[in-house]
Amino acid sequence: MEINEFGKDAPLSTKLISGAEYISQFIEKKCFPNVFLVTGGACAFIVDAIGENPNLNYTCFQHEQSAAMAADAIWRTREKVGVTISTSGPGATNLITGIACSYFDSIPALHISGQVNQNESREFIKADVRQAGFQETDIVSIVKPITKWAHKVRSIEDLVESLDKALKISMSGRKGPVLLDVPMNVQKESIHLDRIAEILTNKTWEETNKTEIISTNLLNEFLFDSNRPIVLIGAGAGLTGSTPNIQAWCEKNKIPFVTSWGAMTYVERSSKLYLGSIGVYGNPIANWAIQASDRIIVFGSRLDNRQRTGSPKGFAPFAKKIVLDIDDQELKKFANDESYTTILFDLSHVNDLLEAKVDYTHEVWRNELDKIQNIISDGIENSVPVGNLNPYFGMRAIQKKFKEKAIIVTDCGANLCWVMQSYLPDSTYVFSAFGNSPMGYSLPAAIGAQIANPDKEVFCFIGDGGLQMNIQELQTIDYYNLPIKIVIQNNFGYGIIKQFQDSYFGSRYHGTGVGYSTPNFRKIAEAFNFQYIAVKTLEDIENLNLTNTKVIIDMHLIPGALITPKTEMDRFIHDQFPYTNSEVIKLLPYGYPEKPSQLNSL
Ligand SMILES: Cc1ncc(C[n+]2csc(CCOP(=O)(O)OP(=O)(O)O)c2C)c(N)n1
Ligand SMILES: [Mg+2]
């Protein structure tokens, strides 16, 4: 921050500003200039200062959880830091699920909670009581495990230093959300502009980022005797903006590449070398390629158990893997497996590595992959019995309606899988809260995305269950007149859990069919002033005529619509349900183990 930025031309008489005004000016200069909030007594001074700032807007949500999820979507779709303001106690605790979405997916966000006056607080009365001030909650301790930094501000000087520090921490290294808890008396206190400048010049903290110095020849050395290389691109690469360079390097050296779901949006999916996303719900050919590969370069992916399954030993059993990641703790996971080499590396410097020229015979590997692709099925036709609307075909049909550069936000459950397993057009940007995956994320995230990108078309894909988790935000969409297109992938139940119950609980639908119900979405649409369209067939979808207004498209699916393909428990990623591909295992030369228990024989 330029130290004289705050009121540098201000006349002497206005050289004092309050804590609340300072927060408002800081956000105006450093963050996305539309603040997401639900007000309350303990944050009223901040909300007022924001409202009185002609260069800042604010959006009122109906629940703080949604404000946090919408702020998360600002970075994902605009690369500006989203800000929330909430009151103390329940206002702040309501943020938690949204903050966790940002934390697990490495998304910067700044959350500012109001807190009771310091002279009314537990700290002040020096007794270990549960609560002293009305609505006093120790939000800092509560969010510590899901923020990069959470801090209760103790004075206005501390506020000035902490805002600067919080934002820098949020955006540096492996990015993530931060929270500042600001007592009311600090919001009201005044500070001289010269003092602000002084504080920012004499910071008491320092940024540190550790990475290893590595040989530019690293990839060359790793691949020198490889016949079946694969590059796995993770969201860590996407978030550093390095994906186009990595993809260009793959194209130059003809190395097939796959992605995690989180990274799918960052690559050109129409490339012939792109095989799809991997994992439990991955695309079959991408999974097969991983399993057959002999060398895998992993750029910025934590290889969680949705990618490697609960039996990671069965993931790429014939490959040596090299993992480049900015988070040393993530790399520790691989310490006991000698097939992994790990390198602590900031992928924004990835160009240094991409000098490597790889010498291998692409055609042989390509032929093998083509052979597999030609005999396996992608599984999607098995989702529903013929004659019913297939969610995958529905997805393909609705894609044809997307405008160039449309933003697609998807939710959680079967509907998430159906969207992510479909190859979305290159020109679309697609995301979800992949690591935390709370039901109801995509609705407020679509609001954040639409506010941050008013010129783009925003689609919110969501299940009937997920919609009910944040249904109150339909009011926010109506009030701000946002032209969001909501597609309910309505299977009248908690589909993904039912599928799990089919496999392991003899189709006893406790909590998913029994005890779960859906409202009349037509009446819901009417209550919130949405256009409502029910679609029951592919033709209905093809005939959709979407205009620039908000709409709920209620896509009726049969309750038993399945996620196909899916890797079930105790299987490896190439061995997915429905088991139409199992025979192919035998055709391949690599002698795959079929069950984790057979791994020792490898
Ligand atoms: C907040 C939250 N509660 C519970 C879950 C567990 N869960 C995951 S998916 C799911 C069912 C989702 O139903 P729906 O939104 O209709 O999606 P479908 O699987 O039917 O497409 C549940 C209960 C969750 N992910 N998030
Ligand atoms: Mg459902």
Model pLDDT for residues 328-376, shown as the tens digit of each residue: 999 999 999 999 999 999 999 999 899 888 889 999 999 989 988 888 8
CB of 512 shorter than 6 A to ligand 1: no
Between the CA of 42 and the centroid of ligand 2 the distance, in Å, is 38
Ligand nearest to the CA of 509: 1
DSSP E strand stretches across 195-345:
229-233, 257-259, 274-277, 295-299, 320-325, 340-344
Between the CA of 517 and the centroid of ligand 2 the distance, in Å, is 10
Q: Are 469 and 435 in contact (CB under 8 A)?
A: no
Which residue from 309, 304, 310, 306 is spatially nearest to 327, judged by alpha carbons? 304
pLDDT band at 601; cut points 50, 70, 90: very low
CA 497 to CA 507: how far, in whole Å? Answer: 10
Q: Judge if 394 and 366 occupy the same domain.
A: no
Between the CA of 490 and the centroid of ligand 2 the distance, in Å, is 5
Rg of the chain, C-alpha, whole Å: 26
Q: Judge if 233 and 167 occupy the same domain.
A: no
Q: Judge if 417 and 492 occupy the same domain.
A: yes
Q: Judge if 351 and 253 occupy the same domain.
A: yes
Q: Judge if 223 and 131 occupy the same domain.
A: no
Between the CA of 494 and the centroid of ligand 1 the distance, in Å, is 6
Residue 596 is assigned to a structural domain of this protein? no
CB of 561 shorter than 6 A to ligand 1: no
Q: Judge if 277 and 152 occupy the same domain.
A: no
CB of 477 shorter than 6 A to ligand 1: no
pLDDT digits (tens, 9 = 90+) for 438-462: 999 999 999 999 999 999 999 999 9
Q: Judge if 264 and 401 occupy the same domain.
A: no
Dihedral over Cα of 23, 28, 31, 32: its sign? positive
- Whole-number pLDDT of residue 212: 78
Stretch 380-385: mean pLDDT:
95
The CATH number of the domain where 57 resides is what?
Answer: 3.40.50.970
Residue 578 is assigned to a structural domain of this protein? no
Is the confidence at residue 42, as pLDDT, over 60? yes
pLDDT band at 10; cut points 50, 70, 90: low
pLDDT digits (tens, 9 = 90+) for 52-108: 999 999 999 999 999 999 999 999 999 999 999 999 999 999 999 999 999 999 999
pLDDT digits (tens, 9 = 90+) for 292-301: 999 999 999 9
pLDDT band at 580; cut points 50, 70, 90: confident
Burial of 277 (0-12, 13-18, 19+ CB in 10 A): buried
Is the confidence at residue 491, as pLDDT, over 50? yes
pLDDT digits (tens, 9 = 90+) for 173-217: 999 999 999 999 999 999 999 999 999 998 887 777 777 777 778
Indicate which atom in ligand 1 lies nearest the CA of residue 464. 16
- Whole-number pLDDT of residue 323: 97
Last residue of a domain, one of 375, 398, 430: 375
Query: Taking the model in full, what pTM does it have?
Result: 0.95
What is the bridge-based pairing of β-strands 16-18 and 190-192? antiparallel
Residue 208 is assigned to a structural domain of this protein? no
In this structure, which residue's CA is closest to atom 23 in ligand 1?
A: 494
- Whole-number pLDDT of residue 203: 83
Mean pLDDT of the chain: 93
| Percentage with pLDDT > 70 across the chain | 94
Dihedral angle computed from the Cα positions of residues 432, 401, 533 and 264, in that order, rounded to the nearest 10 degrees: -10
CA 445 to CA 265: how far, in whole Å? Answer: 16
Residue 268 is assigned to a structural domain of this protein? yes
Q: Are 149 and 175 in contact (CB under 8 A)?
A: no
In this structure, which residue's CA is closest to atom 9 in ligand 1?
A: 413
Count of residues in the chain: 602
- Note down the domain range covering 536: 380-556
Q: Residue 191 half-sphere exposure, CB side, CA atoms within 13 Å?
A: 25
Q: Judge if 414 and 313 occupy the same domain.
A: no
Q: Which helix (H) or strand (E) holds 502?
A: helix 495-504
Residue 585 is assigned to a structural domain of this protein? no
Q: CA of 201: how far to CAs of 9, 26, 125, 158, 161, in Å?
A: 19, 16, 34, 14, 10
Domain count, the chain: 3
Q: Judge if 368 and 400 occupy the same domain.
A: no
- Whole-number pLDDT of residue 1: 42
pLDDT band at 595; cut points 50, 70, 90: low
